[in-house]
Structure 1
Amino acid sequence: MEVGYLLDRVESRLQTLKPDQDALALETGETWTYGKLNETTNRYANALLDKGVRKGDRVGILLFNSLEYFAVYFAVAKIGGIAVRINFRLETEELAYILNDSGSKVLCFDASLAERLEPIRGCTPVETFICYDRNADKVPDWAESWEVLGEGDKMLDRRPEIEETDPVMLMYTSGTTGRPKGALWTHRNTIWFAAMQSLKWNFDGNTVGMTTGPLYHVGAMEDVALAVLLSGGTVVISRSGNFEIRRTLEVIGEKQVSDIFLFPFMIYEMLKLSDIESYRLDSLQRIYSGGDPIISWAIDRLHELFPHIGLIQVYGLTEGTPIAVSLDPSDAATKGYTAGKPMPFTEVKVVDDEGRTLSAGKIGEICTKGPAVVSEYWNKAEANAKTFVDGWCHTGDLGVIDAEGYLTISGRKKDMIRSGGENIYPVEVEDVLIRHDAVQDVAVIGIPDPKFIETVCAVIVKKPGRSVSEKELLEFAGGKLARYKKPRSFVFLDELPRTASGKVQKFRLRDQYKHLHEPQVNS
């Protein structure tokens, strides 16, 4: 089965979906039915074929969130191409790397990003640039207008034979540890992952799922959104950039959203609103969250304020199943500190440095296995050999599985702090510091120390208009953390560096503050 099946069901040969059912809705109001989405997809597909795109060719998508984003993605899928969904936050050199690494033949891009592409036009394999200019931005003379896509025929008769093992999407990993690698998704990976979610959470035609992240990321499209489309429901799409939790809460009420994916920092913003109880959230049944573990304070607070909303914590990664593990809301009271149990058709284990499976209660590297685990990175033989072993994806994350089969995330292998012979897991320290009323966000890292090898450094983002000292934070941690786990240094920032999936890029913080404990030389 191929990804195009999600839309083919409105056509006469299948007709298991009503063409007039709403498929997509922008938070600002515009909607597309399944019939409109399928017709637009077919027009785009025919236009891409006319531009010479053939099975296996890569088509870059450098767009902000929009209805058209889905149409481009499905169009590429229907003609056997590979959609390269690119982070619009990247700078010129980073864009050049991905376009060259992927070998993209066509690039669909937003007009506002033309300035970043101009310097590298002749330095990539891209033959055709197609410019999306809805806001009347000027289309550069080296690109074609978006209208060319809409000129394709609405019937797609030139469709190639597609196998479920054929690739459909190339997703460059978020890069919490360095330069991104392209994870190659197949039609099989995509359909299976959507089906796993639909089965797990009983999605149907009445489900209204909202995505709050950028569509270039699996956390916004593959997580929840494609599963809702598979189930015949409606996907609400948030606008790109300048995330506002108040606007999101308003949209939930306006669109009667039943399911929403919120990254942890979004939940923290929501729960710290003084008037949070004034928003209409009666329709909301489930909040899904991943990227970083949810701190216990937030779990308790959400249940206290909105007991009818189930918080589903999820764990996964682009290449190893984006939602490999989930925690049912019914388990939150007793297992709220864990990520939960494996999703349907998914296996999880924890191994030591030699790859041996560890028994319950022991911390090791998390490995995942199942139909949504990709088989390879794009053109990265060495990384493939290390990551994909005997069908298992070695995630690089640390965790522990208890006797009942629940997985607890301990952090990245590189995030673990080794101080004075003790192992310190940052999430333990973060869970304490975030509870301070003046703390908006926190990341804990290990920095080099001449005596202890590493010591704990807490990077703090204060709530607007609030102040807090290092002394106050240390006093607050008293009685909650062992002495060796307490931060020996603090850094205060306006915001933490994050990936598109909301993960804190701790490698950047470690690099920036690695000399914090070095002796200062007077000039």
Structure 2
Amino acid sequence: MEVLNGGGICRGDRVAIVLPNGPEMAVAFLGVASSAVCAPLNPAYSASEFEFYLSDLNFKALIVQARMNSAAITAAEKHGVPVIELLPSLEGAAGIFTLRGNEQSLTSSRVSPEAGDVALILHTSGTTSRAKLVPLTHANLLASARNIATTLRLSDSDRCLNVMPLFHIHGLVGALLSSVTAGASVICTSGFDAEKFFPWIETLVPTWYTAVPTIHHAVLARAKADRKPLGNHSLKFIRSSSSALPARVMQELEDLFHVPVIEAYGMTETAHQMTSNPLPPAQRKVGSVGLASGPEVSIMDEGGKPLSTGEVGEIVIRGANVTAGYVNSSDSNTESFTRGWFRTGDQGYLDADGYLFISGRLKENINRGGEKISPREIDDVILQHPAVAEAIVFAVPHETLGQDVAVAVVLREKAAVTEREVQQFVAAHLAEFKIPRHVVFVDEIPKSASGKPQRVGLAEKFGVRLSEQRRHDFLAPQTQAEKTLAAIWSEVLGVEQIGIRD
């Protein structure tokens, strides 16, 4: 705090953080958020994405790890954002570091933030002018963290193994802040690593971990690859959130670890958790994301009318953990809030016991293994390609991620481009997880009577084409290691054919 205050940074000022996962990232987040506004950014962003954020959000400083080669530094220097280097201590406790840079000898007010001040700002999807920026106050974060700690009955004897990225709300609140609020411990790993996961469980003795379903899939696959029984472990429960957990995966996790798997429902706008299945002996319902865990949860129709038990409509929420509204986006705020209720864009219903079931998404965003992706952002990039006349990005089902990215492309007359060239073009502008895994070349894109392109139903409409292209792109395992891994994944997922691109 002294380094930030000494550089003229204080309450209300925005500070970007681009750091690898680990204890330094966790401590940096806590320190910055306690004295200014913290904005963690994904280190995997492309140069153009860092350009957008650092030019648009009026940051007072960027914190990066010393000797880190990042496009964020170049973007910061271009836009006159001071760069502060973080130097981890090689001695002492985890998370100890020093900061250097931003030595402006300015005087700040050093006024402590209040509950209603913004502590964290995150984006919901995409990194262009259409991105929704979510400001979360100290009160929002503390309410959600306390709700999670209460739901999971955390105490000072608990120890969370964090394998989630600390630039996402799931890792920041679901793992870190919930533990800190309860006086518990957090093991801050460098991120999920299948080979290290079980040694971490054995040597670091965590009592729980939280992750997206994609990671749970990988844990099961690693367990089968090890081909040895799991010995005694310290886990009391496992938590899953950020996308739907298949019932089969939940059962296999419980069979492997012999502990309950708790599925929860969260969003960035609600400082993560909204509902959660309870711990035993209370009832857990497979297929449900559980009961309201602090905030109020209801179901509304399109006109904002509350619906009865069992009726399907839009899931809405209100409570102390919910953001007051997006930054500089009055249209989005009007659409997303109704009489104090936040409209999630998800569709579902409440049963007679108050358990929430999600039946689909009303919004167009693609949920790829917990990564929320804006289709329009990718549309605009592909439309810059000289061979492309029209393009529309949409979601396709994926066996492990839940959804993946696909695009239908109409070429300009006499123009030619391959799927690989389209993917490489996107890769030059956006992060890897936004690259379409399927590119379908079509004569025309379906449109409504008003001429508006229709994303809904495109996966089904182009399903045969995608299946044909999938077989064409299939690349069989070559080495013995690849064949072994493919066999394991085939058994775990119940999929007959697994290639090295899967």
Same-fold status (TM-score > 0.5): yes
Supply the distance in 2 between the matched residues of 1:492 and 1:176 (Cα, whole angstroms): 31
| Alignment partner of 1:63 is 2:13 | no
The one-letter amino acid paired with 1:296 is A
In structure 2, the CA distance between the partners of 1:415 and 1:297, relative to structure 1 (3 Å rule), is farther
Matched position secondary structure for 1:398: strand
The one-letter amino acid paired with 1:494 is R
Supply the distance in 2 between the matched residues of 1:192 and 1:122 (Cα, whole angstroms): 37
2:501 equivalent in structure 1: 494
1:447-506: CA deviation from partner (whole Å, max 9, x where unpaired): 8897996452478899953889xxxxxx999xxxxxxxxxxxx998825xxxxxxxxxxx
Moved more, 359-368 or 328-337: 328-337
Which of 49, 71, 78 aligns to 2:34? It is 78
Supply the distance in 1 between the matched residues of 2:205 and 2:313 (Cα, whole angstroms): 42
1:14 equivalent in structure 2: none
Matched position secondary structure for 1:287: strand
Supply the distance in 2 between the matched residues of 1:444 and 1:99 (Cα, whole angstroms): 28
| Alignment partner of 1:190 is 2:144 | no
The two structures, once aligned, show a CA RMSD in angstroms of 3.9
The one-letter amino acid paired with 1:230 is T
1:249 equivalent in structure 2: 198
Supply the distance in 2 between the matched residues of 1:236 and 1:100 (Cα, whole angstroms): 34
| Alignment partner of 1:295 is 2:246 | yes
Which of 71, 77, 88 aligns to 1:116? It is 71
| Aligned partners of 2:76 and 2:83 also within 8 Å | no
The one-letter amino acid paired with 1:103 is N
Matched position secondary structure for 1:298: helix
The one-letter amino acid paired with 2:286 is G
The one-letter amino acid paired with 1:207 is D
The one-letter amino acid paired with 2:75 is I
2:153 equivalent in structure 1: 202
Matched position secondary structure for 1:224: helix
Moved more, 157-166 or 387-396: 157-166
Matches within 5 A, 1:368-387: 368-387=317-336
Moved more, 108-117 or 292-301: 108-117
| Alignment partner of 1:49 is 2:2 | no
1:423-461: CA deviation from partner (whole Å, max 9, x where unpaired): xxx99x96xx85xxxxx6563789889799645247889
Identify unmatched segments of 5+ residues in structure 2: 91-96, 367-393, 409-444, 448-455, 488-493
Supply the distance in 2 between the matched residues of 1:412 and 1:491 (Cα, whole angstroms): 28
Using the TM superposition, give the Cα deviation of residue 251 of structure 1 relative to its aligned residue in structure 2, in angstroms: 0.7
Supply the distance in 1 between the matched residues of 2:313 and 2:113 (Cα, whole angstroms): 39
| Alignment partner of 1:400 is 2:349 | yes
Using the TM superposition, give the Cα deviation of residue 72 of structure 1 relative to its aligned residue in structure 2, in angstroms: 2.3
Matched position secondary structure for 1:324: strand
| Aligned partners of 1:366 and 1:396 also within 8 Å | yes
2:290 equivalent in structure 1: 340
| Aligned partners of 2:274 and 2:295 also within 8 Å | yes
1:239 equivalent in structure 2: 190
The one-letter amino acid paired with 2:13 is D
| Aligned partners of 1:416 and 1:446 also within 8 Å | no
The one-letter amino acid paired with 2:354 is G
Supply the distance in 2 between the matched residues of 1:111 and 1:367 (Cα, whole angstroms): 43
| Aligned partners of 1:86 and 1:172 also within 8 Å | no
Matched position secondary structure for 2:113: coil
Supply the distance in 1 between the matched residues of 2:500 and 2:41 (Cα, whole angstroms): 28
| Alignment partner of 1:222 is 2:173 | yes
Which of 62, 71, 83 aligns to 1:129? It is 83
Which of 297, 301, 305 aligns to 2:256? It is 305
The one-letter amino acid paired with 2:86 is Y
Supply the distance in 2 between the matched residues of 1:445 and 1:228 (Cα, whole angstroms): 34
In structure 2, the CA distance between the partners of 1:132 and 1:301, relative to structure 1 (3 Å rule), is same
In structure 2, the CA distance between the partners of 1:412 and 1:177, relative to structure 1 (3 Å rule), is farther
In structure 2, the CA distance between the partners of 1:476 and 1:177, relative to structure 1 (3 Å rule), is farther
Matched position secondary structure for 2:131: coil
Matched position secondary structure for 1:338: coil
Which of 265, 268, 280 aligns to 1:318? It is 268
Moved more, 64-73 or 288-297: 64-73
Identify unmatched segments of 5+ residues in structure 1: 1-44, 137-144, 152-156, 418-425, 435-439, 469-474, 478-489, 496-523
Matches within 5 A, 1:85-164: 85-111=40-66, 114-124=69-79, 126=81, 128-132=82-86, 147-148=99-100, 159-164=110-115
| Alignment partner of 1:266 is 2:215 | yes
Matches within 5 A, 1:160-179: 160-175=111-126, 179=130
Using the TM superposition, give the Cα deviation of residue 98 of structure 1 relative to its aligned residue in structure 2, in angstroms: 1.6
1:24-67: CA deviation from partner (whole Å, max 9, x where unpaired): xxxxxxxxxxxxxxxxxxxxx10111111122111111111132
In structure 2, the CA distance between the partners of 1:443 and 1:491, relative to structure 1 (3 Å rule), is farther
Using the TM superposition, give the Cα deviation of residue 411 of structure 1 relative to its aligned residue in structure 2, in angstroms: 2.8
Supply the distance in 2 between the matched residues of 1:184 and 1:374 (Cα, whole angstroms): 6
In structure 2, the CA distance between the partners of 1:491 and 1:356, relative to structure 1 (3 Å rule), is farther
| Aligned partners of 1:415 and 1:445 also within 8 Å | no
In structure 2, the CA distance between the partners of 1:331 and 1:92, relative to structure 1 (3 Å rule), is farther
| Alignment partner of 1:285 is 2:245 | no
Supply the distance in 2 between the matched residues of 1:87 and 1:348 (Cα, whole angstroms): 31
1:311-341: CA deviation from partner (whole Å, max 9, x where unpaired): 1101110102411011125489872111111
2:277 equivalent in structure 1: 327
1:180 equivalent in structure 2: 131
Supply the distance in 1 between the matched residues of 2:247 and 2:16 (Cα, whole angstroms): 40
Supply the distance in 2 between the matched residues of 1:121 and 1:303 (Cα, whole angstroms): 46
In structure 2, the CA distance between the partners of 1:224 and 1:213, relative to structure 1 (3 Å rule), is closer
The one-letter amino acid paired with 2:217 is Y
Moved more, 68-77 or 173-182: 173-182
Supply the distance in 2 between the matched residues of 1:416 and 1:233 (Cα, whole angstroms): 35
1:56-105: CA deviation from partner (whole Å, max 9, x where unpaired): 111111111132223322322333x1111111111111112122332111
In structure 2, the CA distance between the partners of 1:281 and 1:226, relative to structure 1 (3 Å rule), is farther
| Aligned partners of 1:397 and 1:411 also within 8 Å | yes
1:387-416: CA deviation from partner (whole Å, max 9, x where unpaired): 233322111112222222111112321469
- TM-score, normalization: structure 1? 0.67
| Aligned partners of 1:369 and 1:391 also within 8 Å | yes
Supply the distance in 1 between the matched residues of 2:127 and 2:24 (Cα, whole angstroms): 29
In structure 2, the CA distance between the partners of 1:165 and 1:78, relative to structure 1 (3 Å rule), is same
Supply the distance in 2 between the matched residues of 1:445 and 1:120 (Cα, whole angstroms): 28
| Alignment partner of 1:364 is 2:301 | no
The one-letter amino acid paired with 1:69 is M
- TM-score, normalization: structure 2? 0.69
